[in-house]
Structures are given as structure tokens and as C-alpha cells.
Amino acid sequence: AQKITQTQPGMFVQEKEAVTLDCTYDTSDPSYGLFWYKQPSSGEMIFLIYQGSYDQQNATEGRYSLNFQKARKSANLVISASQLGDSAMYFCAMREEGGSEKLVFGKGTKLTVNP
């Protein structure tokens, strides 16, 4: 069964510094995708970044990068140059690429950016 583990319930970072949010996953399927979403207090889930299991390069999207270590089954999100607007819940999710769009989510990490 698929499982996503986010071990950091809360994280604090100073504005303009980088922060890493941890995510480990478990699956027996060789083909899968990993996602990170941001959820501000308004509730909307905002897509940040995607990494496919067969991608050779780590994914990057602006200030977001994904540190993908396949052998360790980890997919950590790195946010560079944190901004006050980055304060939110962050969720890691996985989809097994068997045709269904079903995502399995971790419990999330609450990030607080301090001025």
C-alpha cells in the first residue's frame, strides 16, 4: 500500500532563508509521481512541483526544488529565499501511475516564515 510520511508537524524559517520540508514515501509500484502542494488558510490546494519516478533530474519550479533520492524513497521540498507569503501548510502526495489519478497525501507540515 502507498504511504506518505511527513515527520515535521511544524517548521519555522527566517525570511529570505532556505528551508527543507521532509517527505518519505513507500510504494511497491516502480512507476509513480510525487507532488507537493501548498495550502494557505483559505483552503485552496496550490500545486507547486511534480517529480516522476523515472525523471533523471530533480524537479525545479522557480524558488521550489525537489530533492529526489529514489533509493532512500525521499522527496524533500526545498524553498529558497523564503517569503512571508510562504507561510502555509505543505503537503507531499504520491500517485501510482497505473491509470488512476488517486493521490495519497501525507499529514502535512505547517511552515511559518518569520520577518
Partner 1 sequence: KAGVTQTPRYLIKTRGQQVTLSCSPISGHRSVSWYQQTPGQGLQFLFEYFSETQRNKGNFPGRFSGRQFSNSRSEMNVSTLELGDSALYLCASSLVSRGKKTQYFGPGTRLLVL
CB of 17 to partner 1, least distance (A): 28
CB of 105 to partner 1, least distance (A): 4
Q: What count of other Cβ atoms lies within 10 Å of the Cβ of residue 84? A: 10
CA distance linking residue 29 with residue 88, whole number of Å: 31
CB of 61 to partner 1, least distance (A): 10
Q: Between residues 10 and 81, which has the closer beta carbon with respect to partner 1?
A: 10
**Contact footprint for partner 1 (CB under 8 A):** 33, 35, 37, 42-47, 50, 52, 91, 93, 95, 99-108
CA distance linking residue 104 with residue 78, whole number of Å: 21
Q: Between residues 13 and 59, which has the closer beta carbon with respect to partner 1?
A: 59
Q: What count of other Cβ atoms lies within 10 Å of the Cβ of residue 52? A: 14
| Residue 73: DSSP 8-state | T
Sign of CA dihedral 81, 18, 22, 53: positive
Q: Between residues 16 and 102, which has the closer beta carbon with respect to partner 1?
A: 102
Radius of gyration of the chain (CA): 14
Q: Between residues 11 and 45, which has the closer beta carbon with respect to partner 1?
A: 45
CB of 76 to partner 1, least distance (A): 19
